Each structure stands twice: as structure tokens, then as C-alpha cells.
Amino acid sequence: MAALAGVSTGTASKALNGRGSLRPETRLRVQQAADQLGFVVNGAARSLQTGRTYTVGMITTDSIGRFSIPLMIGAEDALGAGQVSVLLCDARDDPIREQYYLRTLLSRKVDGIIVTGRRTQARAPIAADLPVPVVYAFISSSDPRDCSVVPDEADGARKAVRHLLAIGRRRIAHVTGPEHHHSAKVRAAAAAETLAAEGLRLATGILHGEWSEAWGRQAAGILLSTGADVDAVFCGSDQIARGMAEALREAGRDIPRTVALVGFDNWDVMVEACRPQLTSVDMDLEGIGRTAAELLLAAINGDPAHGQQALPCRLVPRASTAVLGGDRG
């Protein structure tokens, strides 16, 4: 194979194992020669040579995969170039199960671990003095020495409100999740602060409830029954926004002509099924997974990062905030 690629045996080995400072064209030439000959790297031999297993564990508490699957896709994008495999373990919010999976991954000699879940609130470190590096993704560790990658939810809320202001809305309500929930608190505070910076206030008090379509429908009923003067609603999740849209539409309110609507999460199942399709804030879960994996690889290679990194969100405009001609009524 080395002869076919026109390189030395050592160079071929470095190219196939992702080591050394080689030109991209050299790596490509070696890989093409390997493909032509049907050569597959012997994982066991590579592990003996490098002292690594080229596997990474991912422990999650997100049983339905709403957050962990996009995170894993992003992580695999970053790890795949180094031929590193991801072992996904679902702890189901059970501390005993979580510690079992941690011991299992360590017994398999993984090179590192990514810890994630379905909430962005800080959690206690998964363990102390582990023999491999750990990076927290989407959630964060309460220990500032740990490496955490999280979405900047305040940034996302600011972008949602600024978008509504940019399309001419001034009487904005905010409907969100439970009052004690970290994400609900962060998003609500950022929304209120963004309006205050423009000399405005929320059109009503913040409406707290469940992260559900049912709560969105109920909240719409509250706004309608109180006669609140509202021309836009920023919802703390897409599920709430979809329920809100359904109830407003049934009550004869035109979206976006009379009421513009923005959600949060950019969950395709929700935003595409909403009528009209929903403008939403995207936390870039794949990007968080990719960044976490890159930081984990750096730590595995002896260059660990510490502290929390907050990645910006992006707003995805759709029909629920479309700018229409004429009077909104």
C-alpha cells in the first residue's frame, strides 16, 4: 500500500492513524491507496501502539433523544475524522444507572466522556478525579474547573424579541415554562431586558406553565379572555407556540397579521407542523456537540480547556412573523 501511494511505510501508518504533520494531499493519497487495496486499519493493533481505544462515551439523561441525538450527530462529525467511535448510554435521570454506565465506560478504556442531558441547568460533576477527560455538552458542570459547552439562551431570547421589534411589534407577551426552570428564567429575563433597553415593557405579566402544547392553548385563552392588548407573543418553546397558534387560529386571530408568534428550540416536528410555520430560535445542538467533541479531543491530546463556553443561537424566520402589507387590525 505504501508503495502504491508513493510514500514510506511510516508515512502510510501516520496517515491512516491520523498522526503526524502530513500534507492533506499525502493523507488523501494514502487513503485512496488503502481503499483501492481494501485495507482496513486493525483497531486492536492501533490501540496497543497508541495506548488509546479510539472510543468516547456519551452519557445522557435525555431518554427520548430530543437533545442528545443532535448532539451526538455533531460529536460524531468531529470525531469521525479521527476514526473515533461514540458509545451512547441513557441514564434516564437515575443516579445509580449513571454511575453504572460511568464504570462500564471506564472499564472499556474509553479515551474520554461527554456528559449531556435535556436541561441546560448546571449539574454536579459526574465524578471526581476521573482517569479520562470529561466535557459537558448542553448542560454544564457546577465546577468551574470543568469544561462545559452550552447554548447562550439569553442571546436567543434577545434575538427573538429584536426580531419582533424589527417587524413593528411593540405589545409583546411572553409565555413560557415552569417558573423554577432555569431555561424559563433565563429566557424571560433576557426578553424583559431587551424590551426595557427600548423603553418598553412586556404587554402582560410573564405567563408560566408547562412545556406543552396544552399550556400554549390555555395561555392563549388567558390572553383572549383578559382582552390583553397584544400584537406578538414570544413563547419559551415550540410546543407552547404551536398550542398558542392553534388556539389563536380557532379564535379567529390571524397569524401573523394580528398576532406574530416566535418559538424557541427550532424543533422540526413542531415548527413545520405549526400553521402557519413557526419562526423559532435554534440553539444549534449539532454545533454544541461538535464543539464539545473538539474540546474533548484536545483534552485527550493533552490540551484541556476549562470553564463554560456559551455558543450563540440563531433565529430562523418563517411565516408566523412574516411582514404583511396593510393594516394588521
Helix (H) or strand (E) holding 306: none
- Cβ-contact 288, 71 below 8 angstroms: yes
Average pLDDT, the chain: 89
Tens of pLDDT along 127-140? Answer: 999 999 999 999 99
Average pLDDT over residues 26-36: 72
At 2 the pLDDT is 62
Span 230-243, average pLDDT: 98
Residue 42 in this model has a pLDDT that exceeds 60: no
Q: Compute φ and ψ for 298, nearest 5 degrees.
A: -65, -40
- Report d(CA 317, CA 11) in Å as an integer: 49
Indicate if the pLDDT at residue 180 is higher than 50.
Answer: yes
Strand partners, 115: 59, 136
Residue percentage of the chain with pLDDT more than 90: 75
Q: Which pLDDT score, from 0 to 100, does residue 329 have?
A: 45
3-class DSSP assignment, residue 308: strand
- pLDDT category at 45 given cuts 50, 70, 90 is very low
Please tell me the predicted confidence (pLDDT) of residue 119: 86
Indicate whether 248 pLDDT > 70: yes
- pLDDT over threshold 80, residue 31: no
pLDDT at 271 over 90: yes
According to the model, what pLDDT value does residue 66 have? 83
Q: What is the pLDDT of residues 46-102, one digit of tens each?
A: 444 456 899 999 999 887 778 889 999 999 999 987 689 999 999 988 999 999 999
269 sits in which H/E element: helix 268-271
Sheet strands side by side (includes 314-316):
207-208, 172-176, 232-235, 260-264, 279-282, 314-316
pLDDT band at 12 (very low <50, low <70, confident <90, very high): low
Instruction: Check residue 49 and give its pLDDT.
Output: 47
* Residue 321: closest CA among 272, 270, 291, 277: 277
Q: Read off the pTM.
A: 0.82
Give the three cell numbers for residue 98: 449513571
pLDDT tens track for 286-324: 999 999 999 999 999 999 999 999 999 999 999 999 987
> Please, which pLDDT band fits residue 26 given cuts at 50, 70 and 90?
confident
Residue positions counted in the chain: 329
